[in-house]
Amino acid sequence: MTALLSVDSLGVHLDGVAGAPLVDDVSFEVAEGERLGVIGESGSGKSLTALAVLRLLAHPLRATGSIRLATGEGDVEVIGARQRRLDGVRGSTVGAVFQEPLASLDPLMRIGAQLAWPLRRHRGLRGDALRRAVLDALAEVQLAAPERIARSFIHEVSGGQRQRVAIALALAAQPRLLIADEPTTALDVTVQAGVLELIQSSVAERGMSLVFISHDLPVVAGIADRVVVMRAGRVVETGETRQLLSAPREGYTRTLVAASRALDDLLPAAPLDGGRV
């Protein structure tokens, strides 16, 4: 397996502030088609790591170390890459979905127009072909009535629908890696289930790689092949999901698994369809 993303000794520093870096010596790889989970609590550095990979950290935050992305035209070292080179990487190599879809969608632009933007830019579509591609993209994220959604502004649709639009937008340029940072945290549980399913099926169908970031162990466990556990800016432990759940090596992971297990055990174990006796 070749690595699509290699993060090596990543550090995120707050310029002008003495003290330990916010992210310190973080290394991991994501193989072609692999689904990697990153789990951690508030302040663990998981979102900063995602932003660093997308090079969306703004001053006074500064990344050090190495983040390599394998693209069609050779590897790109994200840290220090020229802006023009990055423009080619974002969207077509890496797409991203964040917790709050409102933050990544333009409130003053109809949804169809927002979605047309990357489709035009990355796939060179125009006119009717572009219009069809917009509707297809909305249908692909299982939005009923794509015509209506395309005409709507973002405040006219629900939270779950917004997140589906954000996913359509992230997928529009056909990236090889999707970074999803707490994409379902703000959603109701029944809506979350649908969006998780959508992410899973999109990734599988397109053979994409996935970096799925969450504070919620059951959510990560359901979607990731391998999990990186982060705490206070450092990687605590990395392992196969099953292995990590059944035999966590580090104390912190053990605490995390035990707390999630204790909560999980409160609900009936059997699948509910079999719950009726």
Partner 1 sequence: MTAATPGEAQANAAPVVLAADRVSFSYGRGAEVLHDVSLALVPGESVGLVGESGAGKTSLLRLLLGLGAPTSGEIRFEGHALDRRDTRSMLAFRRAVQPVYQDPFSSLDPRMRVGDSVAEPLRSLGIAGGRTERAARVTELLESVGLPADAAERYPDAFSGGQRQRIAIARALAPEPRVILADEPVSALDTSVRMQVIELFQRLARERGIGLLLVSHDLTIVAALCRRIAVLEGGIIVEQGETRSVLTEPRHPYTRRLLDSVPRLP
Q: What is the dihedral of CA 41, 43, 46, 47, to 10 degrees?
A: 120
Q: How far is the CB of 220 from partner 1 (least distance, A)?
A: 9
Q: How far is the CB of 222 from partner 1 (least distance, A)?
A: 5
Is 260 near partner 1 (CB under 8 A)? yes
Q: How far is the CB of 247 from partner 1 (least distance, A)?
A: 14
Q: How far is the CB of 263 from partner 1 (least distance, A)?
A: 5
Is 254 near partner 1 (CB under 8 A)? no
- Dist CA 119 CA 100 (whole Å): 22
Q: How far is the CB of 180 from partner 1 (least distance, A)?
A: 14
Instruction: Give, as ranges, the residues between 41 and 60 that touch partner 1 (CB under 8 A).
Output: 41-42
Q: Can you tell me whether residue 7 is helix, strand or coil?
A: strand
Tell which one of 56, 145, 247, 259 touches partner 1 (CB under 8 A): 259
Q: Between residues 72 and 274, which has the closer beta carbon with respect to partner 1?
A: 274
60 upstream amide cis, omega within 30 of 0: yes
Is 77 near partner 1 (CB under 8 A)? no
State the DSSP H helix or E strand holding residue 50, giving kind and residue range, or none if neither: helix 46-53
Q: Are β-strands 234-240 and 94-97 bridged in parallel, bridged antiparallel, or unpaired?
A: unpaired
In sequence order, the 6+-apart residues with CB closer than 8 A to the CB of 207 are 32, 33
Tell which one of 193, 200, 225, 250 touches partner 1 (CB under 8 A): 193
Strand locations in 98-255 (E): 177-181, 209-214, 226-231, 234-240
Is 30 near partner 1 (CB under 8 A)? no
- Dist CA 131 CA 113 (whole Å): 9
Which residues would be at the binding site for partner 1 (CB under 8 A)? Answer: 41-42, 159, 188-193, 196, 215-219, 221-222, 241-242, 245, 255-256, 259-264, 266-268, 272, 275-277
